[in-house]
Amino acid sequence: MRIVVAGAGLGGLAAAAGLRRAGHEVIVYERAAELREAGTAIVIAPNGLRALDRLDLTGRLRDHAVTAASAGLRDRRGRPILVTDARSAQVTVGMAVSVTRTDLHQLLRAPLPPDAIHTATPIDHLEPAGDEVAVISGGRTLTHADAAIVADGIGSRLRARLFPGHPGIRRIGRLDLRGMLPAPAGLDVDGLIASILIDRRTGAMFGLFPVDRNRLYWFTDSALPHPTPTLEQAKQQMLDLMRDWHPAVPALIAATPAEDVYVDPIARLAEPLPTFALGRIALLGDAAHAMTPDLGQGAGQAFEDAAALARHLTGAAPADVPSRLLRYDAERRPRANRLMLASDRQSRLTSQTGAKAWLRDTLLRAVPPRLAARGLAGIWQL
């Protein structure tokens, strides 16, 4: 069968690779002029890694396993709230990896021949045409396909065309700043690796993960206003907010050149979609279920989508596509939508302030150490 994928992001590439491996002819159309994934790093949760295993796309990703003595939630000074030792975490939850977005993108596109990917080709519309789907860009039909996969990300134009009554995405009023830098010599971050620090005065959050052997990836989530005028100012505002945190926090932010800081207003789908499958068209990844980053599940869910699509379309003939995509929808929509809502709840939980935050920390601190890994797995929904 001929299958078109609209969008060469993490989810689109994973699906394209999986569908090609299942024996289909796959054509990917990407809006950007260049095929690349900008940004810092990404943490792939154990379930995302297992989905990549199913697509035979893991490569040497496990070389990037998050290794840390402990992992979990801490207060702004780095004191444990709900922390587990790394061994229990791995036994209970499985392995997570932390990898640069560039490396991950390269790994996912490696199985695809260069002529299967067309850049600078935004898809405007996918239109049912008899037993096929017409793929439309710039007012002209580029090709017809037996199936089309919508993988055009959080701002999906195709989702808006396919679900005209859907409200699209909604910003939650929080801002994410991210940076990646070589580990500064002499800075002691050991106790903070694989931890999320939260501040019950402001509801701000800071996370730290290792990348490769000697780089660190940090991210923050706070109620800082958007838009911030410049990257330098965004960085300065964050430094002001976190000045009295664990000393490594402001030190890492300060050591990251402003031009290497990424700023994103956090958004999610305003409402779950009623279906991920419309005839011969399926949606995946952020186009289908954009969620806040709080559970670190966005890409993981996109990979689960990709693996499910590849499996359901294995051995399919063109006539089977609508029913196979309905099975994909039935398998994936409940879980992805549940995680979308759970990410939202997690965002509200970690950004609490005042008495509610005090109660949260008190309750979490009361979790016995032997149950901490399971408690975290529950929170992170793994």
Ligand X SMILES: Cc1cc2nc3c(=O)[nH]c(=O)nc-3n(C[C@H](O)[C@H](O)[C@H](O)COP(=O)(O)OP(=O)(O)OC[C@H]3O[C@@H](n4cnc5c(N)ncnc54)[C@H](O)[C@@H]3O)c2cc1C
Per-position DSSP letters for 250-314, written without gaps between them: HHHHHHS-GGG-EEEEEEEESS--S-SEETTEEE-HHHHH---GGGS-HHHHHHHHHHHHHHHHT
| Closer residue to ligand X, CB minimum distance, 250 or 293 | 293
Which of residues 72, 78, 111, 153 is near ligand X by CB under 6 A?
Answer: 153
- The answer to whether residue 31 forms part of the interface with ligand X (CB under 6 A) is yes
| Closer residue to ligand X, CB minimum distance, 217 or 245 | 217
| Closer residue to ligand X, CB minimum distance, 294 or 361 | 294
- The answer to whether residue 29 forms part of the interface with ligand X (CB under 6 A) is yes
- The answer to whether residue 7 forms part of the interface with ligand X (CB under 6 A) is yes
* Gap between the Cα atoms of 158 and 168, Å rounded: 11
| Closer residue to ligand X, CB minimum distance, 283 or 367 | 283
**How many residues at the interface with ligand X, by CB under 6 A?**
35
Six-digit token string for 339: 């995680």
- The answer to whether residue 297 forms part of the interface with ligand X (CB under 6 A) is yes
Q: Which of 86, 89, 104, 94 is nearest to 42 (CA)?
A: 104
Residues in the chain: 382
| Closer residue to ligand X, CB minimum distance, 122 or 279 | 122
- The answer to whether residue 30 forms part of the interface with ligand X (CB under 6 A) is yes
- The answer to whether residue 176 forms part of the interface with ligand X (CB under 6 A) is yes
- The answer to whether residue 285 forms part of the interface with ligand X (CB under 6 A) is yes
Which of residues 144, 157, 335, 345 is near ligand X by CB under 6 A?
Answer: 157
| Closer residue to ligand X, CB minimum distance, 146 or 286 | 286
Q: Residue with CB nearest ligand X?
A: 9
Q: Give the residue carrying structure tokens 């869910």.
A: 301
Q: Name the maximum alpha-carbon separation found in the chain.
A: 65
- The answer to whether residue 42 forms part of the interface with ligand X (CB under 6 A) is yes
Query: Helices 298-313 & 10-21, crossing angle to 10 degrees?
Result: 20
In this structure, the number of other CB atoms found within 10 A of the CB of residue 359 comes to 12
Which DSSP letter does residue 63 get? G
Q: Which of 275, 6, 288 is nearest to 127 (CA)?
A: 6
Shortest distance in whole angstroms from residue 209 CB to ligand X: 8
Q: Which residues of 39-56 are buried (b: 16+ CB within 10 A; e: fewer)?
A: ebbbbbbbbbbbbbebbe
Which of residues 8, 145, 193, 283 is near ligand X by CB under 6 A?
Answer: 8
Q: Which of 282, 290, 271, 273 is nearest to 308 (CA)?
A: 282
- The answer to whether residue 264 forms part of the interface with ligand X (CB under 6 A) is yes
Q: Give the residue carrying structure tokens 């779950």.
A: 272
- The answer to whether residue 375 forms part of the interface with ligand X (CB under 6 A) is no
Which DSSP letter does residue 65 get? B
- The answer to whether residue 5 forms part of the interface with ligand X (CB under 6 A) is no
* Gap between the Cα atoms of 132 and 142, Å rounded: 13
- The answer to whether residue 122 forms part of the interface with ligand X (CB under 6 A) is yes
- The answer to whether residue 343 forms part of the interface with ligand X (CB under 6 A) is no
| Closer residue to ligand X, CB minimum distance, 122 or 318 | 122
- The answer to whether residue 123 forms part of the interface with ligand X (CB under 6 A) is yes
| Closer residue to ligand X, CB minimum distance, 44 or 252 | 44
Q: Is 185 helix (H, G, I), strand (E, B) or coil?
A: coil
Six-digit token string for 146: 């037996």
Shortest distance in whole angstroms from residue 151 CB to ligand X: 5
Stretch that binds ligand X, among 19-27, 83-91, 150-158, 340-348 (CB under 6 A): 150-158
| Closer residue to ligand X, CB minimum distance, 285 or 367 | 285
Q: Are 24 and 1 in contact (CB under 8 A)?
A: yes
Residues of the shown chain interacting with ligand X in the complex, contacts defined by CB under 6 A: 6-12, 29-32, 42-44, 48, 122-123, 151-154, 157, 176, 178, 264, 285-287, 293, 296-300, 302
